[in-house]
Structure 1
Amino acid sequence: MSSQNTKVKYASSYKEQITARGLIIGSVGAIILTMSSMFVALKLSSLPWPIMFVALVSMFALKACGTTNINEINVTHTAMSAGAMVAGGLAFTLPGIWMLNPDAEIKPLTLIIITLGGVILGLIFTSLIRKYFVVTKELPYPMGQAAAEALIIGDAGGKKAVMLFASMGVGAIFTVLRDSLGKIPATFMNSKMVSYGSYGGIWLSPMLISVGYIIGPLFIGIWFVGAIIGDFGILIGGQYFGIWDAATASSVKASLGIGLMVGTGIGIIIKGILPKAKEIFGAMFKKDSIGDSIVHLRWAPIVMMVIAFLFTILANMGIVASIITILGIWLATAMSAQCVGQSGINPMEIFGIIVLIAAKAVSSIGQTEAFLVAAAVAVACGLVGDVMNDFKAGYILNTDPKAQWIAEAVGSIIGAFVSVAVLLIIVNAYGPHVFGTEIFPAAQASAVAAMVGGISHMPAFIIGLVLAVILYCVNFPVMTLGLGVYLPFYLSATAFIGGMLRLFADKVFPEFEKKGTGSIIASGLLGGEAVVGVILALIVAIRILV
């Protein structure tokens, strides 16, 4: 996909990319999206990627204000989307505190410190690893690609714009029929697989099929192999042949998947980051750049020490756990960047679980403090997933990464305060006992609560970890393998359909993809479901507030 479309207006200077009106529009959008994201994450135990929605809203809002350019739109939607994933990081972890102890009391200041700490660390590490994952590794980042495609084609107009918005309409209508009107089932489940504890089947999702199409058959094929290992091998095969019971099979599957993802993170650091440590982390000690623009990060080591102090004293985490949390966020943000880049999925609560287990293993932190560790990590990883998608779109659109980074900082800091406020309002209005009920199921937080005690099957975890380090170092896409093992089968199967459609198109209709037709349709379908998902999220939030 080329960004050099003559019909598209690009900014000629930095000042045309990051503007006061853009930051105001982005900030207002960040407040609204953060509020809705908190409600939806708790209510529906899911959180749609906001990037497509905010890209279109930013485009229409700025065009309504007068003359604009595609880079100003890109920077504005970068600010607008940031708070959504910050809210997700909190919603997917912290409610577990009250699930285990409804009488637990947490000071608002503590929540602010944890959330802001996660945001600031996420911003620091993302700015440092942006070039490695987006430019050097050239990971696909399907959500970022789709957003860039939508902006380029939508701004230029013509037949491709008609195709994009037509497919977007199809995706939107399908999503309304499925999620709002209930006319289309969400999943088709295989009853025999379900009887073995597997979520066997497919999810009827244009978005996930499109993600599979954009990513392509290689990564998706490895992802699906992981799903076969996890469900047909461990869950079904293990029980069928009497190797273990259902509970053991489930713990082996989860622990192996987590081990593969942790091992991938270690592999990224060993092979990708440490050899380039001077280049990547030099910005923390001197004037250096992220991408093409200068960003001063000489303040970063001091800020990290301040965060460690605040975690230690005000969050009562202790110095060891605080240091482990900061080091863990370094590892987890690299894992998140790789995971989102290869699959479009960001299991932020899993990264939080990994670091909280490490913190508990080497320190004597309490139950509540363990959740705070997980929350800081999940917030950072949620933000990283959003930032890296935005950076991918910006790379395609030739947007100055410094302008995007500043916009992301503005939106994420706003999101930190808004998400904490909304969470506290919910706790005060409904009572802490509301989490884990039909009102606010908060399924991810429940999973974190279940893992506070530690990895359920340590041998499987260690096997996965060692295997992943080795496979990553020989350039095998092991992160997607781990995702396939860990995630429900129906998600992997649906993404696999998209990957196979891409393979079919490339082999049978090569001109179809050379012209970009398939990617345009996939981007539209993805955008249609993503936009409607955010709109439905806003409706749910408004109904709860009213």
Structure 2
Amino acid sequence: MDKTSGRASWRGQLTARGVVIGCIGCVIITASSAYTALKLGALPWPIVFAAIVSLFFLKLLGNASLNEANVTHTIMSAGAMVAGGLAFTIPGAWMLGYADEVGFAQMLVVALAGTGLGLVATAIIHRHFIVDTNLEFPMGASAAQTLRATEAGGKTGRRLFASMGLAGVYAVLRDALGAVPTMLAALPIPGVSFGIYNSPMMLSVGFLVGGVAVAWWFAGALLANFGIVVAGSAAGLWAVDAAQGIVKSLGMGLMMGAGLAVVAKDIVPQLADIVRGVRGAGNGTGSDSDGAGAAESLVTGSVHTDAGTFAVIVAAIVVLMCMGLGLPPVVSVAVVLLAFVTTAMSAQSCGQTGIDPMEIFGLIVLLLVSAFAQVRKVQLFFIAGVVAVACGLAGDVMNDFKAGSILGTDSRAQWLGQAIGGVLGAVVSAAVMMALVEAYGPDAFGLGKEFVSAQASVVATMVSGIPSVPAFVIGLAAGIALYWAGLPAMMLGLGVYLPFYMSFTAALGAALKWAIDRVRASRTASLPADERAARDADGQEAGVVIASGVLGGESIVGVIIAMVSVIAGLAA
């Protein structure tokens, strides 16, 4: 294929209607992702949901190819992980009393800096992870298969919008009108926030994650709340307040240990190959079997810019942005260099496990920087935020590249789409977080508060001091050992750290999925194999669409309620 036909190919996949649909979806998904990450301390990948929605709307406008839908959903989902990177780090500064120093401008700079680093790093490492090592990237592969298998039509649209509408109405009844309670079946157990969170969104998180992962999540909750807090305090080993500090420290240690184990087990052994792949991409060597030109060059119009040169330019701009946040020049350079390393770590983790512990990578860089430089506490949150956004976006980009590799999509179109969605997502996520903190106040963020912000609370605790160092060390060692043994230490740590009512509600969502799957299997058991497989596929798709719609509906309405509150406050 010559250069002219190549440009025509990717431009045919990155269409004007696709950009419009993708940008509208990006605004909605980014806003709901920011709200979900803050409210629940979790952020399910939106890639499959975005793929279904993209194909549905493109088909409404006429014929649509899977490649056009793939690029459109790349734009649509890009901002979600940018929002996650901000939500998992920045609220920690509010928890420590720095609300006056962390506003919209600072969050926007953090988000844009991380977005720039994530985009350039993934353009460089694309060849190694997608072409050379051909990692699984399960979420990207799932999106590709969803696009292939889904005939998006009226039924899909009705399911999606009906579930979004019902969840939105329920959120209004609960949060705006107070017609339904926030908590159900609450019990006064000292030190344990026992109950069922009256949130269809939380049930949907458990439904979408499902299976073994939620089982480990809930096991961590049982261990922490009824093992350490209830049993330990009843046995006189420690007071309830001390037990809660132990639980928080143990949960942090487990999550940090799992993140370090990802680096040690999955990434360090591959460093030589990664470096060789990056060098090859930067020098423009090698061939790309799937026609992906983003690894060798970034294409804008008719201008081809060497990826290495482009990376240096963007890195220099980000260094200046970090200095604008008050970081010393040496620290700014270190953050940029370490961010390139951690984006490779993020890509490796997502490729092998489907998990992107972006805030853990932010913490690693934060701790490394604080070990050799004197930096104000509030600036440590900026460092963690830049790295977390870069790693979050990297995970999303690489999953999208995987889907594109399977479907034969030109990665230049995907990369440009990701750039559009990433920049738009940076603006939207900063605006949404500013609206939420203005509406509810900085005291609404933290464990047991309106917005649990679990990951940001971990960052805040690491910055301000660990409640129980022995428990943290035990958790760190256990997290490393469990991950090394192939067990989901990150999910166990999440269960230990989050309030019990959230873990319990997520477990109910996973149990609901298990029950629905069992009922469907029993009803289709007597059918011919082909028909049974078709019905199972339709049932699985319906479950993803409805659960995603519920999650999106409640979170979007939550953002709207917050914005209305801000406007009403300004008017008053």
Q: Name the TM-score, length of structure 2 as normaliser.
A: 0.73
- Percentage identity across aligned positions? 37
2:225 equivalent in structure 1:
231
Correspondent of 1:519 among 526, 540, 547: 540
Correspondent of 2:77 among 81, 84, 97: 81
| Residue 62 (structure 1) aligned with residue 61 (structure 2) | no
1:114 equivalent in structure 2:
110
1:179 equivalent in structure 2:
171
Instruction: Tell me by how many angstroms 1:96 deviates.
Output: 5.0
Correspondences of 1:60-209 after superposition (within 5 Å): 60-94=56-90, 96-97=92-93, 100-101=97-98, 104=101, 108=105, 113-124=109-120, 128=125, 138=136, 140-141=138-139, 145=142, 149=146, 152-155=149-152, 157=153, 162=155, 168=160, 171-172=163-164, 174-182=166-174, 187-193=183-189, 195-196=190-191, 198-203=192-197, 209=203
1:4 equivalent in structure 2:
none
Instruction: Tell me by how many angstroms 1:415 deviates.
Output: 2.9
Taking the aligned partners of 2:511 and 2:45, their CA distance within structure 1 comes to 23
Contact 1:265 1:332 in 2 (8 A): no
1:366 equivalent in structure 2:
376
Q: Deviations over 1:162-208 (max 9, x none)?
A: 4x556546643552353122366554344144x22x33344455565
Q: Deviations over 1:344-394 (max 9, x none)?
A: 8x7755654554344334431112211211221332344345446645665
Give the secondary structure class of the aligned counterpart of 2:494: helix
Instruction: Tell me by how many angstroms 1:90 deviates.
Output: 3.2
- Decide whether aligned partners of structure 1 residues 478 and 35 sit closer, same or farther in structure 2, where only a CA change above 3 A counts: closer
Question: Match for 1:519: what amino acid?
Answer: Q
2:299 equivalent in structure 1:
none
- Decide whether aligned partners of structure 1 residues 202 and 25 sit closer, same or farther in structure 2, where only a CA change above 3 A counts: same
1:454 equivalent in structure 2:
465
Contact 1:220 1:480 in 2 (8 A): yes
In structure 2, runs of 5+ residues without a counterpart are 1-7, 297-306, 526-531
1:317 equivalent in structure 2:
327
Give the secondary structure class of the aligned counterpart of 2:117: helix
- Decide whether aligned partners of structure 1 residues 354 and 489 sit closer, same or farther in structure 2, where only a CA change above 3 A counts: farther
Q: Name the TM-score, length of structure 1 as normaliser.
A: 0.76
1:485 equivalent in structure 2:
496
Contact 2:55 2:147 in 1 (8 A): no
Contact 1:179 1:186 in 2 (8 A): no
2:280 equivalent in structure 1:
286
Question: Match for 2:218: what amino acid?
Answer: F
Question: Match for 1:73: what amino acid?
Answer: A
- Decide whether aligned partners of structure 1 residues 130 and 254 sit closer, same or farther in structure 2, where only a CA change above 3 A counts: farther
Contact 2:254 2:475 in 1 (8 A): yes
Taking the aligned partners of 1:49 and 1:477, their CA distance within structure 2 comes to 17
1:403 equivalent in structure 2:
413
Contact 1:146 1:523 in 2 (8 A): no
1:26 equivalent in structure 2:
22
More displaced, 51-60 or 279-288? 51-60
Taking the aligned partners of 2:127 and 2:205, their CA distance within structure 1 comes to 21
Contact 1:53 1:531 in 2 (8 A): no
Contact 2:118 2:390 in 1 (8 A): yes
Taking the aligned partners of 1:101 and 1:522, their CA distance within structure 2 comes to 42
- Decide whether aligned partners of structure 1 residues 204 and 354 sit closer, same or farther in structure 2, where only a CA change above 3 A counts: farther
In structure 1, runs of 5+ residues without a counterpart are 1-11
Question: Match for 2:551: what amino acid?
Answer: A
1:8 equivalent in structure 2:
none
Question: Match for 1:470: what amino acid?
Answer: A
Taking the aligned partners of 2:219 and 2:193, their CA distance within structure 1 comes to 16
Give the secondary structure class of the aligned counterpart of 1:191: strand
Correspondent of 1:16 among 9, 12, 19: 12
Question: Match for 1:490: what amino acid?
Answer: Y
Correspondent of 1:247 among 241, 245, 254: 241
1:218 equivalent in structure 2:
212
Question: Match for 2:115: what amino acid?
Answer: V
1:416 equivalent in structure 2:
426
2:442 equivalent in structure 1:
435
More displaced, 260-269 or 417-426? 417-426
Taking the aligned partners of 2:126 and 2:236, their CA distance within structure 1 comes to 46
Taking the aligned partners of 1:423 and 1:218, their CA distance within structure 2 comes to 32
Q: Deviations over 1:473-517 (max 9, x none)?
A: 332232222222223333333443455566667778375685335
- Decide whether aligned partners of structure 1 residues 229 and 273 sit closer, same or farther in structure 2, where only a CA change above 3 A counts: same
Correspondent of 1:375 among 385, 408, 411: 385
Correspondent of 1:540 among 554, 561, 564: 561
Q: Deviations over 1:7-52 (max 9, x none)?
A: xxxxx95443223442344345545665676688779988786556
Instruction: Tell me by how many angstroms 1:529 deviates.
Output: 0.7
Q: Deviations over 1:407-450 (max 9, x none)?
A: 112211233345556777999xx69x943369x96653666545
- Decide whether aligned partners of structure 1 residues 495 and 92 sit closer, same or farther in structure 2, where only a CA change above 3 A counts: closer
- Decide whether aligned partners of structure 1 residues 419 and 489 sit closer, same or farther in structure 2, where only a CA change above 3 A counts: closer
Contact 1:97 1:368 in 2 (8 A): yes
Correspondent of 1:531 among 552, 555, 558: 552
Taking the aligned partners of 1:246 and 1:43, their CA distance within structure 2 comes to 25
Taking the aligned partners of 1:88 and 1:216, their CA distance within structure 2 comes to 21
Instruction: Tell me by how many angstroms 1:324 deviates.
Output: 5.6
More displaced, 217-226 or 365-374? 217-226
- Decide whether aligned partners of structure 1 residues 498 and 341 sit closer, same or farther in structure 2, where only a CA change above 3 A counts: farther
Instruction: Tell me by how many angstroms 1:523 deviates.
Output: 0.9
Correspondent of 2:484 among 456, 464, 473: 473
Instruction: Tell me by how many angstroms 1:83 deviates.
Output: 2.7
Taking the aligned partners of 1:121 and 1:290, their CA distance within structure 2 comes to 23
Contact 1:367 1:452 in 2 (8 A): yes
Correspondent of 1:271 among 265, 283, 297: 265
Contact 2:258 2:483 in 1 (8 A): yes
- Decide whether aligned partners of structure 1 residues 507 and 304 sit closer, same or farther in structure 2, where only a CA change above 3 A counts: same
Give the secondary structure class of the aligned counterpart of 2:236: coil
Give the secondary structure class of the aligned counterpart of 1:286: helix
